Chain A
Amino acid sequence: MEELSQHIANAIILGSSYAILGIGLTLIFGIMRVVNFTHGELYALGGYAAYMVSTVLGLNFFLGLPVSILVGALVGAAIEFILLRRIRTSDMDTGMLVMIGAGIIILNSIQLIWGGVAKSVNTPFSDVPVVVGPVSVSSLRLFVLVAALVLIAATYFLINRTKLGKAMRATFQDPDVASLMGVNIGVIYTATFAIGSALAAAAGALLGPVFLVTPSMGNMAALKAFAIVILGGLGSIPGATIGGFILAFSEEMGAGYISSGYRDAMGFLIIIMVLLIKPTGLFARSERVG
C-alpha cells in the first residue's frame, strides 16, 4: 500500500509535466493542423535554457523557467514566421516533413553548441525529501508539480478567458469565418505556435533538473507527447491534460509492477489500445480521423 501511494505521488508529479507537453502539441495541431515535430527539440531547448541560467551563468534557479518559456516562444514564433507561413496551403504531409527538417536542424544545433555529454542543472533544493504520511517526495519535484499546475491553469485562463484565447478558439472552429470577423489569422497562428513551443520548453525546464539535460532528451519526450495527444484526441486540450496524467500513471505502474525496462513502452501500448478500441481518442470529435 505504501508502495502504491508512492507510485501515485510520482505519477501525479510526472503527469503534470506530461500534461504541459501534451497541451502544447495538441494546441498547435488543433488550431494550425500541423504536427509539430520540433516539439521534442523545443523541450530540450527549454532544458538547456534552464541549464544556462542556473549552472553556467550562476543566476537564480527560479529564473530558468521564465527564461526557457521566453526562449521557447521566440524560437516557436521564428519557426512559424520563417517556415510554416509559407506552407499554410500545402497538405498536412508537407507540413510534417518540413517540421521534421526543422527538428533535425535544431537538434543538431543543440548538439553542436553544448556537445553530446549530459548536463545537470544546479538547484537550490536540498536532497532531503519531504515526507507526507507514507509518501516521500524531493522538494525539487514538489516545485515541479506546483509550477506545472500553475502553467496548466495559466494556459486554460489564456484560452478561455482572454481576447487572444477567444480569437484562437474562433480560429480553431473555422479559420475563414474567424478571419471575416476581423481576426488576424496570421497573428493567431504565430501566437499559437509560440505558446505551444513555450509550453514544450517549460516542460523541459521543469523536468531537465529532475533528470539530466541531453540533446536527445526531446526524442522520447516528443514520442510521449504524441502518445498523450492520441490518447486524448488530437486537438483536445482537456484530452491532453488528462492524457498526460494517464500516461504517467501507466508508466509508473508499468515500471513498478511489470518491468522498468518497458517503462517507455507504456505510451505506445496505450496508442495501440486506443486505436483498437476508440481510434478518435477519448475526447476528440469523430471527424478527426479519416
Chain B
Amino acid sequence: MKRFLPIAFVLVLVTLPLWMRDPYYLHMLVTTGIFTIAAMSLNLLLGYNGQLSLGHVAFFGIGAYTSALVSLGFDVDIFDYTIVHDPWPPVLGFFIAILVTGVCGYLIGKLSFKVRGAYFVIVTISFAEVVRLVALNWMDLTQGPLALTNIPPIVLGAKSIGYVSILGKVPSYYLVLGVAALAFLLISRIVHSRYGRAMIALKENESLALACGIDVTKYLVFGAVVSAAMAGAAGSLYAHYIRIVDPEIFMFMNTVTMVIMVITGGKGTLYGPIVGGLIFGILPVGLRVVAGPEVQWIIYGALMIAILLVLPEGIVPAIQRRFGLSAGNESKERPPADKSLVRGEQAL
C-alpha cells in the first residue's frame, strides 16, 4: 500500500494525456500543475521553515516577468544609460528567472527574517505589493497594464537531436509534470538532509535550535532562496504557457490560492501541497457549472476556515494517521535511521 500508492499516482499522471483528450481539462491540469509547483515551494517556507510568507506570489510574478522579458527582449533607460537586450531563447529565460528569483529570495530573506510573526507576514505582503506597483508603473520595461504579450513558448532540444517547441496542451503538460517532479525530488532531498532537519528544528523551537548551534538566519534564508527560485520556475512556466503576463499576476488572491493548497493538503508534508493543489485545481471544474466566481471564492474561504478549525494539520497527515500510513516523509517524525542522526550531530 505504502509503495503502491505513489507509483499508481505517477502512472496516472504520466499516462493522463493519452486517455484525457479534452483540451479544457488538460488546460486545467497544466495550470494546476504550475500552481502546485508554487505551492510546493511555499510549503518549504510555511511547512518546514515555519514562516507564514504571504508575499510568495511576488517570486512567481518576478519569475514570469523575467522569463518573458529575457525571451522577448527589451530596452530601458536607467538614468542616462540605455540597456538594450535582444531576445534570447526562452529556455535561457527559464534559468535566468530561477537565478533572479533566487537572488530576490536571498535579499528579501535577509531583510525580512529580522522580524517574526505578524511583522514578518506584513513585510512579505508589502514586498509583493511593491513589486506589483513597479510592474504597473515601470512602463518602459513591463508595458504596465498593457501587459507583455506574444511571449514565445519554450523550445527544448539541441542541434544534434533537433528541437521541440513546447506549444499546446500536451507538451506543456509533460513539461510542467517534469519540472514538478524535479521540484518534488529536490524538496524531498532537502527535507531529509541536514539542512532540512535544521529547518524543522528551528520551526519547532527557535531558541532551542539557536542554543544547539544552528545558525537560524542561515537556514531561514536558505529556505527562502530555494523556495523563491522554485516559485520563479513556476512563474516562468506560467509565462511561456499562458503567453501573456500583466501586473494582475501579483494579486494577493494568487498567494491565497497557494496558501489554501498548502494548508488544506497539509503543511510540512511532502505530499500535502500536491493533494491540496489537485483539490483546488480540480474543484473549479465542478464548481463553475453551479456557481459564479464570487460564490466559488466564498466556498474556498469557507473551506479554508473549516480545514483550519477541523483538521488544522491538513488532509495528508490526517489520512496517514487514520490508516497508520506513516510514509517516512513526515516532518514530525524523527529521522528514520540512527546513522543520519549521528552524522547530523557530528556535522553540527
Contact = CB atoms under 8 A, between A and B. Distances in A.
A265 interface: yes
Interface string A139-154: 0000000000000000
Nearest to B52: A93
Interface stretch (A94-102, A160-168, A172-180): A94-102
A93 B111 CA distance: 20
Contact of A108 (B114, B134, B263, B301): B301
A103 B256 CA distance: 11
Interface stretch (A12-20, A51-59, A268-276): A268-276
A223 B259 contact: no
Interface stretch (B25-33, B125-133, B329-337, B340-348): B125-133
Name A's interface SS: helix
A36 to B, nearest CB: 10
A97 B112 contact: no
Q: What is the size category of the interface that chain B forms with chain A? A: 35 or more
B137 A279 contact: no
B249 to A, nearest CB: 15
B114 A279 contact: yes
A130 interface: no
Nearest to A113: B294
A101 B304 contact: yes
Interface stretch (A3-11, A67-75, A83-91): A83-91
A243 interface: no
B233 to A, nearest CB: 25
Nearest to A115: B294
Interface stretch (A119-127, A192-200, A226-234): A226-234
A107 to B, nearest CB: 8
Contacts of A250: none
B301 A101 contact: yes
Given A96-B52, A108-B295, A112-B294, A83 B305 contact: yes
B253 to A, nearest CB: 8
A96 B136 contact: no
B308 interface: yes
Contact of A230 (B122, B252, B298, B301): B122
Given A83-B305, A101-B302, A230 B119 contact: yes
A105 interface: yes
Interface in A214-232: 219, 223, 226-227, 229-230
Contacts of A226: 122, 125-126
A104 B309 contact: no
B294 A275 contact: no
Nearest to B116: A290
A264 B304 CA distance: 30
A223 B305 contact: no
A92 B256 CA distance: 17
B115 interface: yes
Interface of B: 52, 54, 111-112, 114-119, 121-123, 125-127, 129-130, 133-134, 136-137, 252-253, 256, 259, 263, 292, 294-295, 297-298, 300-302, 304-305, 308-309, 312
- 5 cross-chain pairs, A with B, having the tightest CB-CB distances, nearest first: A104-B301, A261-B137, A101-B305, A101-B304, A105-B301
23 contacts: A83-B305, A87-B308, A87-B309, A92-B118, A96-B52, A98-B304, A100-B54, A101-B301, A101-B305, A104-B297, A105-B297, A112-B292, A226-B125, A234-B118, A259-B137, A261-B136, A264-B133, A265-B129, A265-B134, A272-B130, A279-B114, A290-B116, A290-B117
Given A226-B126, A289-B117, 17 more contacts: A35-B121, A86-B309, A92-B118, A97-B259, A97-B263, A97-B308, A98-B309, A100-B301, A101-B302, A104-B301, A112-B298, A226-B122, A234-B119, A275-B114, A279-B115, A288-B119, A289-B119
